[in-house]
Structure 1
Amino acid sequence: MDSQSLYTVLIVDDDPVTRLLMKQALKDPTLSIIEAESGEQAIKLFSEYLPDIALLDVSMPGMDGFTCCRQLRLLPKGQQTAIVMVTVHDKAEDIEKAFDAGATDFLTKPFKWPLFAHRVRYILKANSTLRELSLSRSKLAKAQAIANLIYWEWDFKHKTFECSVNLYQLLGIQNTSQAISFKHILRHIFPDDRPLFKQALRRAIQQKHAYDIEYRIQTDNGQLFYLHERTEINQDFDGWKIIGTLQDITSLKQSEQEIAYFTYYDTLTDLPNRRLFIEQLETAIARARHKQHSLTLMFIDLDHFKHINDTYGHQVGDALLCEAAARIKDCLRDADLIAVSKDKDDRVARFAGDEFTVMLTNIDNVDVLANIAQRIVAKFEKSFDINGLNVYSTVSIGIAIFPEDGDDVQALMQHADVAMNHAKELGRNNYQFFSAEMNDYLFERLQTEQDLRQALKRNEFLLFYQPQIDVKTQRIIGFEALLRWLHPVKGLLGPLTFIDVAEKTSLIIAIGEWVLNQACLQTYQWQQQFNNNWRVSVNLSAMQFNQQLLLEQVGRSLQASGLPAASLELEITETAMLKDIMETIPLLTALKEMGVGLAIDDFGTGYSSLSYLKNFPINTLKIDKSFVDEIVDNPKDAAIARTIVQLAENLGLRTIAEGVETLEQVEMLTTMGCQELQGYYFSKPLPVGEVERLLANGNELKKS
């Protein structure tokens, strides 16, 4: 221990970060700090250093804080040391257990660091003083002041009673020579607590019955104090006497209120939290069931909140959540909102993260509910001005109604959540009412996701290949690899039934890597088997294209398969390429330098910005099927196709038209100068075996 240190502090916590922060907060030359990461180590260090105070975490692996506290009290100096239990705020029962284990005081996490250091020093000083007082009864008055104790005595004969000076101070009486009566005290007792005090005093007078009560005192300036009064009634040679002590427990009550607040309220937005809201919802459902009224539950989720949080930081994210809470509450205060609960603060809660809930009672009109939801949606279409930033975050809202959509808390919450997820599926920035059909649809999507997670492990995916035809030679020059899923129950599934789910769950990354590996390997085998340098086109999803490991994946696939880079063409949508141009150009350039071909898939259906054609190292423009379908009968589609072909020719790019199904389309595209064709007119997508039979027959296609 440092010779200059006055006190030794023992910090016991299994979390090194918490210990470091506590140590930094208590940094003071008068304090010598030692650390323990477990209860066992704390007992060892306690015996060695005999600390003045121990800050003891409740929840630790192995020996918990309560057990450790009891063990410390048995050690030498264990009764003289202040032991402060540190507990999380939502476990109020830990406080009672702490005192039962012998704790001096408690602190709650998370700490308010500036107050933390002051609180520890206060406990240190108070404990030191109390130890001194235990050795000298002459310091009793000081001990009473520290403990906020007030002493009084009454002989049952006079109207006034004797008391210590601090009662005058508490009541704001300047003249300490003035006698104080019970009538004087009664005038200061909070009106709601006067009946309790009168009853206790009456029993003391009439039945000589001691009492132990709590009540509130209100001073002349309106300040409120909580008091704990304990009495004893004795008889001596002067007759009966009642002796009482008053203790100011205001700080304890405030701590209890803080614990209750942290348990039931969100400290960021000051809204009820999930725990309180569920309790309120249970009560509201029981009342609605009894009175046969309706009840509406809304789940509100901020769209793209994670992206905002990651981009601008948690400070902006927290500010956005506070502003969002205010906007939701404002929408429910509008004058035309009728027949809703009077307890406005109880209607809105922060349920979790970026999710809020709204409870509306006794509104039977669906149009009114829709109007409220639309009002909230419209409110969030305006930007948030946060620290000089214009931040946009729309909302997706799910609505479930009691009792139609659920007759208990769990069902109602689940169905409101289902409706909210459906709103997100429909593009966000909207609201949806729950329906059984919606539930079935989302259940099916959830089942698809679960099956997808097993599909790769079970080797259920396979590739079909659709031939791509050279217009001049009418022979196959390559294939587009198309994913299929051989589902164990539903049979062979096309990508439209599962790709959307795969992309939304990020499973597309692993699936896309498998497709790339398999397509390269299969094409190389065909090249070797049939002595022909066919290429293979592989579609990349936007998520694949935007991930950092794409370049490495392509390199690994080419190296593992032996396929020449020139035989691989990656098809990328316009939307994916234009998401982040600053990253797209270097990535495309690196792929180009590797020797891989690059094609814009579905050209003309996305942004169609001509500037990127100049800057991006593209090889091929792929004319979308939507333009090919009506190319013969619709002059506008024909003009678009012709423009794409001419544009590609002027830029030195290849063109390939997909979805070709008729001879007329073939002839028209050939006349336009399109170089390659793909579609059912030549061949549908084929499994590996049928492709090999086709190639074995001399690369000839039987026209449809």
Structure 2
Amino acid sequence: MASIEKLIRLHKSLMTVSHGQGFIEFPRITKLKRIVKACAKQLNVSRVSVWKLDNHRGCITCEVLYILDEDRYYFGVELFEKDFPAYFRAIRESRLINADNAITDDRTCEFSEPYLIPNAICSMLDAPIFSEGELRGVVCLEQIDQQRSWDMAEMSYVASLADNISMINEHELWLKDREQLEFLEQFDGLTGLEKRNNFQKRLDYDLQDSPDPDRSRALILLGIDFFGAVNETHGHKVADQLLVELSRQLSSISLTHHYRLSRIGGDSFAIWIPNLRGSEELQQLLQELQYVAEKEFICLDSPPISVNFSTGVVIYPSEGDLPFDPLRCAEIAMQRTKDQSRGGVQYFSTEWMVELEGKRTLENELVDALKNQELTAFYQPILCPDERKVVGLEALVRWQHPTKGLVSPADFLPAAKKLGLMGRIGSFMLQRASQDISQLQKMGGDVQWVSVNIASEQLYDPMLAKEIEQVLSEHNLPSSAIELEIVEELISQDSTLVRAQLNAMSELGVRLAIDDFGTGYSSLSRLKHMPVTKLKIDKSFVDGLPSSENDRCIAQSIIGLAKGLQIELVAEGVEEKAQVDFLKDLGCEYFQGYYFAKPLPIQEVHKYLGL
């Protein structure tokens, strides 16, 4: 009964120490000190210590030793496995080492000469500390001057004490993992640099909450040009090593001048100058960055790699003091550099942001325009000059904006391409053009065909031929009433799908024309095997006729090629009678341009045809 009471008392005392208020938040050494001191007092044992195992070095190191008679702590003693193999084997294999006579016990007798006798230690009670199934250390109780027989309550207590230290270890590992996760949230795992989100918070504070908001500051954004090519040519390991080397060079510069450096993207770095002392400082920094770019980097076993930075710069306070995100502004400036002068520097202008806002508004309105049926078709007549007879029409998309009026295709088609809307617009134009020519023919108009431009998204759609067949059937049109125009660039690609699509449309009886011929890179041998019925000479070659010798030679070559392949010709962008006469003499059959008629809405086409 007494032993059970002792067991309960000892475990209560351990719980009081290890679960006391604030204990878990104490530093590790403080927690260990409290535990060993409480243990020594509760068991009235001479010495209590906690040892940490170092598998790499093959030793245990004393984290803390408490000597009861002295009421003092000691640290740092090391015991090596090569010197005490039996003991190390025992703590790995046993739940407890209860050596009442430590000098004669097989598990501890190795300590006699170097450790036990000099310290007058007679008895030992050791419990191994495990974490995640692995031995991490040991709790050691040592009685001096006289032997001691350890009872069950004491052995149970020490085993629980070791478990508590194991729990401390587990908690510290959890804290370490959490710190690592927090670090990875804030810092880049490859370069160790601050990530974008953390960097952004730093900028926001400095610009909004700083006690000195009017001082000059600058943000520099560096984008590595053609970094994707490094990945493709040398592999990801080399590319990663290049980023590490660049980050070291940039960190050296930033630390020297007390700037903040961040890796804000896969191939881009940002430098924040919190106190810009003048344009000379900025120019000096840009020069140092240029020196970095001019170096050759040896990464792993790769050959030397050279890089260029496209740089965007934002200076605060800025003209107009618009509340734009500084990183976004720097990215816009950097992208302008990439688009216009790779390897150079662009300084952000607030006009760019206004321009971008306008483009974004246009994009949103264009999406709505498709829903609200604001797009319409204009038609430019195609004539045979001998009779000035309209033989065909080219359908051209227009946008009738509810407040801006007629919007030029040059303004909205780039946005449509960016948004992936060209396929939808192409389908709309195919449907509208078929509807209008059907109505035109019913009214007695002698127009043989209508040309519709086909976007690349449509050409790569395997359902295109089916769509065309359905439209022809819906409007009761012969297949010869529709002519599809594709740009030369699309047939320059050796694509099995493109060839299959063109053949499928040809089998329907639909005419195929190559638009803007002469501006692309189509192979003549490939053109010979395509089911093309017409070439359209690009306006850029018509403009200089007949005075430009180069344009005359190009026009003669294209017309000669078409005649040789028995392909019809249309000259686009004709604006003068001299151009018509010259091309007609060379054998060009059809003409299209302002000399005859500008693009017209369908109602005005009716008037033009006298219907």
TM bucket, shorter chain: 0.5 to 0.7
1:86 corresponds in structure 2 to none
Contact 1:405 1:412 in 2 (8 A): no
Match of 2:529 among 615, 629, 635: 615
2:61 corresponds in structure 1 to 172
1:690 corresponds in structure 2 to 604
Match of 2:221 among 287, 293, 298: 298
1:500 corresponds in structure 2 to 414
The 5-angstrom pairing of residues 406-425 of structure 1 reads 411-420=325-334, 422=336
Amino acid at match of 2:348: F
Sort the Cα spacing of 1:355 and 1:459 in 2 relative to 1 into closer, same or farther, 3 A. Answer: farther
Sort the Cα spacing of 1:379 and 1:176 in 2 relative to 1 into closer, same or farther, 3 A. Answer: closer
Contact 1:373 1:397 in 2 (8 A): no
1:448 corresponds in structure 2 to 362
| Helix, strand or coil at the partner of 2:489 | helix
Amino acid at match of 1:274: R
Match of 2:467 among 548, 553, 571: 553
Contact 1:469 1:676 in 2 (8 A): yes
Contact 1:377 1:395 in 2 (8 A): yes
Structure-2 separation of matches of 1:320 and 1:178:
56
Match of 1:255 among 177, 192, 199: 177
Structure-2 separation of matches of 1:620 and 1:472:
19
Higher relative contact order (CA closer than 8 Å, sequence separation 6+): 2
- What are the superposed Cα offsets for residues 73-98 of structure 1, whole Å, 9 maximum, x if unpaired? xxxxxxxxxxxxxxxxxxxxxxxxxx
Is 1:535 the counterpart of 2:449? The answer is yes
Contact 2:488 2:521 in 1 (8 A): yes
| Helix, strand or coil at the partner of 2:37 | strand
Structure-2 separation of matches of 1:403 and 1:596:
61
Amino acid at match of 2:456: A
Is 1:153 the counterpart of 2:76? The answer is no
Match of 1:572 among 471, 486, 503: 486
Structure-2 separation of matches of 1:332 and 1:521:
63
Match of 2:271 among 352, 356, 359: 359
The 5-angstrom pairing of residues 219-618 of structure 1 reads 247-248=168-169, 250-267=172-189, 270-282=192-204, 285=207, 289=212, 292-298=215-221, 300=223, 322=240, 325-326=243-244, 328-329=246-247, 332=250, 341-342=257-258, 347-351=261-265, 354=266, 356-361=268-273, 364-365=279-280, 367=283, 398-404=312-318, 411-420=325-334, 422=336, 432-530=346-444, 532=446, 534-579=448-493, 581-618=495-532
| Helix, strand or coil at the partner of 1:679 | coil
Contact 1:478 1:534 in 2 (8 A): yes
| Helix, strand or coil at the partner of 2:197 | helix
> What TM-score comes out, normalization by structure 2 length?
0.67
The 5-angstrom pairing of residues 68-217 of structure 1 reads 150=32, 151-153=35-37, 162-167=46-51, 172-173=61-62, 185=74
Sort the Cα spacing of 1:445 and 1:531 in 2 relative to 1 into closer, same or farther, 3 A. Answer: closer
C-alpha deviation, 1:576, in angstroms: 3.0
Contact 2:65 2:75 in 1 (8 A): no
- What are the superposed Cα offsets for residues 232-259 of structure 1, whole Å, 9 maximum, x if unpaired? xxxxxxxxxxxx9975554243133223
Structure 1 unaligned spans of 5+: 1-132, 189-223, 226-243, 698-704
Sort the Cα spacing of 1:253 and 1:277 in 2 relative to 1 into closer, same or farther, 3 A. Answer: same
1:71 corresponds in structure 2 to none
Structure-2 separation of matches of 1:545 and 1:268:
43
| Helix, strand or coil at the partner of 1:164 | strand
Q: Which moved more, 1:430-439 or 1:517-526?
A: 430-439
Structure-2 separation of matches of 1:664 and 1:340:
70
Sort the Cα spacing of 1:175 and 1:165 in 2 relative to 1 into closer, same or farther, 3 A. Answer: closer
Structure 2 unaligned spans of 5+: 20-27, 55-59, 78-135, 138-160
Q: Which moved more, 1:621-630 or 1:248-257?
A: 248-257
C-alpha deviation, 1:543, in angstroms: 3.8
Match of 1:647 among 541, 550, 561: 561
Structure-2 separation of matches of 1:514 and 1:308:
42
- What are the superposed Cα offsets for residues 557-594 of structure 1, whole Å, 9 maximum, x if unpaired? 32333322222111111223334523322222222222
Contact 2:214 2:317 in 1 (8 A): no
1:218 corresponds in structure 2 to none
Structure-2 separation of matches of 1:554 and 1:303:
41
Amino acid at match of 1:172: T
Sort the Cα spacing of 1:622 and 1:324 in 2 relative to 1 into closer, same or farther, 3 A. Answer: farther
- What are the superposed Cα offsets for residues 326-381 of structure 1, whole Å, 9 maximum, x if unpaired? 365266368xx6896447xx512235xx574402325634655665787898899x
* Same amino acid, percent of matched pairs: 28
1:13 corresponds in structure 2 to none
- What are the superposed Cα offsets for residues 474-514 of structure 1, whole Å, 9 maximum, x if unpaired? 31110011111111222112211111111111122222211
| Helix, strand or coil at the partner of 1:332 | helix
1:198 corresponds in structure 2 to none
Contact 1:405 1:434 in 2 (8 A): no
Structure-2 separation of matches of 1:481 and 1:549:
22
> What TM-score comes out, normalization by structure 1 length?
0.59
- What are the superposed Cα offsets for residues 663-700 of structure 1, whole Å, 9 maximum, x if unpaired? 11111000111111111111111111111122235xxx
| Helix, strand or coil at the partner of 1:643 | helix
Give the greater-gyration-radius structure (CA): 2
Structure-2 separation of matches of 1:471 and 1:506:
39
Structure-2 separation of matches of 1:478 and 1:394:
52
Structure-2 separation of matches of 1:536 and 1:394:
50
Contact 1:400 1:434 in 2 (8 A): yes
Contact 2:62 2:75 in 1 (8 A): no
Structure-1 separation of matches of 2:225 and 2:46:
63
Amino acid at match of 2:244: A
| Helix, strand or coil at the partner of 2:371 | coil
C-alpha deviation, 1:179, in angstroms: 8.3
C-alpha deviation, 1:303, in angstroms: 7.6
Sort the Cα spacing of 1:636 and 1:287 in 2 relative to 1 into closer, same or farther, 3 A. Answer: same
The 5-angstrom pairing of residues 38-77 of structure 1 reads none
Structure-2 separation of matches of 1:530 and 1:385:
76
Is 1:662 the counterpart of 2:585? The answer is no
